């Protein structure tokens, strides 16, 4: 079984510790971190070559987290980022993929998207 190298980025709080324990307890995961949110994370990613980055969203650092996510996507476009909210029961999976540029492929991709319509969004026209 191949292990996935996972970077955990989070503030030192109970939720971060819980995720760390969950990830360390899995035989399928090689956990690196947790790393605290800092300006040198992208440089450190170059040394580790992870399979995924998990970022625990903290309301006190939301702008930094958005900026970090943007930096990772631009520097490492094939590296998936999972953002997990402390105050929400959701996670966001951010991944860039190169897809064929034909119209039929675009329509197929749109049809196959799985999207949960949030409250407040009107159903079709």
Collapsed DSSP state (helix, strand, coil) of residue 53: strand
Tell me how far apart the alpha carbons of residues 4 and 15 are, in angstroms, rounded to a whole number. 21
| Distance from C-alpha of 13 to C-alpha of 55, rounded to nearest angstrom | 13
Element (H, E) at 41: helix 41-48
- pTM score, two decimals? 0.74
pLDDT of residue 9: 93
The segments of the chain whose pLDDT lies below 50 read: 117, 120-122, 124-125
């Amino acid at each position: 079984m191949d292990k996935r190298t996972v970077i955990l980025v989070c503030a030192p709080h109970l939720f971060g510790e819980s995720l760390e324990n969950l990830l360390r307890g899995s035989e399928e995961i090689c956990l690196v971190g947790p790393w605290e949110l800092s300006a040198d994370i992208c440089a450190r990613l170059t040394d580790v070559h992870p399979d995924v980055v998990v970022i625990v969203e903290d309301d006190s650092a939301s702008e930094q987290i958005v900026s970090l996510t943007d930096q990772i996507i631009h520097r490492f476009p094939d590296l998936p980022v999972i953002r997990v909210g402390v105050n929400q029961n959701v996670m966001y999976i951010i991944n860039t993929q190169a897809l064929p540029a034909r119209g039929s492929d675009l329509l197929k991709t749109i049809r196959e998207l799985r999207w949960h319509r949030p409250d407040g969004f009107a159903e079709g026209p």
